[in-house]
Structure 1
Amino acid sequence: MSHLENFKRQHREIKELVDNLTTMLKQDLLVQEPTKVRTVLSTLAGKLMMHLAMEDQFLYPTLIQNGNAQAQTTAARFSNEMGGLVQVFKDYSTKWLNPSSIKADPEAFISESHEILQALRHRIAREDSELYPLVE
């Protein structure tokens, strides 16, 4: 499997987890089953951190150094625009590390989750539509 196919597969897995977590953003579920929600968030965090690290440390630098002019420009722009997402997601995941914190403030968890999950969807959609075609 090519590196790009691996990135695309990871995108599909991440989108599935984001969708799954989004369906769980209901106050009654967060109060009744915060551990179940945290488990999905932990799975997402693990896959996402690995994926973002691979992109930020391998894909983007490779394209910036060795790609054609359009790939170099796009990769550099994406790296600058989206590079902070790793830390934002780490902070979010750490803040909601314990199921008890989710249960204690479900409204804040829902609000912050929608915001970060939308940012993830946006990054994936842009990479799929703008960056990955340049690699192919």
Structure 2
Amino acid sequence: MIALSDLSQELGAHLAHEDSFIYPRMIQSDNALTREAASAFTAEFASLHADWTMYLNEWNSECIAEDWDHFSLVTLSILDRLQRRVDAENNILYTTALRESVLSLREGVAV
């Protein structure tokens, strides 16, 4: 349970940053494709966030112990969705944000 709690905190901090900084700037862009990408990411995130919250609420220590096999399957599924989200952020969202000057690379970061 500690690992789930730690992951949830890290995920929450990461997404709070995006929600407060990246998406609003992209949604206000003059570029229609940038606005559409940000809107699509926001909508997809809402679904993922709802499922993540339900996952955390459903799987307490007792439930995990009672049905480890199902917990494992559900966990692999939600982690796969999170990984696909991170991949999409890295390959689409951040590239678009950099191109549109919504983000800038920090000094010393290689491209």
| Smaller-chain TM-score bracket | 0.7 to 0.9
Measure the CA separation in 2 of the matches of 1:85 and 1:50.
15
Deviation digits for residues 73-124 of structure 1 (CA, Å, limit 9, x no counterpart): 2111221233211111111011113x22211110111111011101100111
TM-score (norm 1): 0.65
Measure the CA separation in 1 of the matches of 2:73 and 2:88.
23
Unaligned runs of 5+ in 2: 99-111
Aligned Cα root-mean-square deviation (Å): 1.6
Unaligned runs of 5+ in 1: 1-37
Percent identity at matched positions? 33
**CA drift at 1:46:** 0.8
Q: Which has the higher contact order (CA 8 A, sep 6+)?
A: 1
Does residue 91 of structure 1 match 2:51? no
Larger helix fraction of residues: 1
Q: Does the 8 A contact of 1:49 with 1:86 survive in 2?
A: no
Q: Classify the secondary structure of the residue corresponding to 2:74.
A: helix
**CA drift at 1:67:** 5.6
The count of aligned residue pairs is 98
Does residue 69 of structure 1 match 2:32? yes
**CA drift at 1:57:** 4.0
Query: Which residues in structure 2 correspond to 1:40-55 (within 5 Å)?
Result: 40-55=3-18
